[in-house]
A and B are shown apart, each in its own frame.
Chain A
Amino acid sequence: MKWLWVAITVISGTIGDVLCARGMAMHGELDDFRPTGIARILRYMVTHKIVLAGIAGDAISFFSFLALLSVTELNFAVPATALSYVFKTALARWYLREHVGWGRWAGALLVAFGIVLVSL
C-alpha cells in the first residue's frame, strides 16, 4: 500500500510541476510588480487551464504524501519520494525542451541524494 502512495505522490507531483512550468512560461516574463500587476498574475494563475491542471496535480501529490505519512514514517516517505527531482528534470529536458547540461543533472542528483541523507 505504501508504494502505491509513493507512486501517486511522485507521478502526480511530476506532472503537476511540469504543467505549471508549461503554463507559466506561456505568460512570458513577469515584470510588473505594482499592485495591479500582481493582481493580474494571480488571476492568470487561477484561471489559466494548464496552470490549474498543474496546481491540481500538485494538490493530489500533497494529499497522497499526507496519506503516505499516515501509513509510514517521515524517514521512509521523504527519501522514497526524493526521486521525483530526477523525474522532473528528465521531463523538463524531454517534454519542456529545457537545456539540461551536466551542471543541472549533477545538481538534481545531488539534491535528491542529499534529501535521502537528511531524512535518514
Chain B
Amino acid sequence: MRQTVVSSTLVRRQSAKLNVKNRIFIALVVISNTMGTVLLGRGMTQMPDFASGAFAYIGRFLTNPWIVSGIALLVVWMAAQLSMLTWADLSYVLPVTASYYILTAIVSRFFLAERISLTRWIGIAVISLGVMLVSHTPPRTHELPEGLLE
C-alpha cells in the first residue's frame, strides 16, 4: 500500500523534461555501446598473437586507432549508463538499453553485409518486445536511500 502511494507520487513528479533527458540518454547508451563494440572488434582483428610478446602487444593495443576510439566510446557508454541510474531504476535501465542487441544486428546486416538467420531475427523480435514492455513502465519506482529525499 505504502509502496503504491510512493510510486504514484514519484510518477507524477516525473516531468516531461525527465522524459526527454531519459530518451536522449537511452540513445546515447545504446549508440556508444554498439559503436564502441564494433570499433573494438574491428581493431582486435588487426592485433598480433598475444604470445608474440606482451610489451609489443600492449604497444600495438594502445596505438591502434580503432581500439583507442572503441575504448573511448565504451567509457562514454559507462558514464552515460551510470548517469541514467541517478534517475532511473536498474530494472528499467538494463532491459531498455538491451536494444543495443537490436542495433548491433542492424549494423551488421546493413553496414557489414552479414547474413542474419531466421533464429536471430526471431531473437531480435523477442528482445524488442521485452524492451517495449519495460519502456512503458515509469523509470523510477523506488524511494531514494534514507535521508536523501529532497
Task: Give me the interface of A with B, judged by CB distance under 8 Å.
Answer: 17-18, 20-22, 24-30, 41-42, 45, 51, 55, 85, 88-89, 92-93, 96-101, 103-104, 106-111, 113-120
Contacts and interface: CB of A to CB of B under 8 A. Distances in A.
Binding site of B, secondary structure by majority: helix, strand, loop or mixed? Answer: helix
Given A110-B129, A118-B124, A99 B7 contact: yes
A117 B123 contact: yes
Nearest to B136: A103
Given A21-B90, A25-B145, A97-B142, A45 B134 contact: no
Interface stretch (B51-59, B61-69, B91-99): B91-99
B1 interface: no
Binding site of A, secondary structure by majority: helix, strand, loop or mixed? Answer: helix
27 contacts: A17-B90, A20-B82, A21-B93, A25-B85, A25-B86, A26-B144, A26-B145, A28-B144, A28-B148, A30-B86, A51-B82, A88-B90, A92-B89, A93-B91, A96-B91, A98-B90, A98-B91, A106-B130, A107-B95, A107-B130, A107-B134, A110-B130, A111-B98, A113-B130, A114-B126, A118-B124, A120-B123
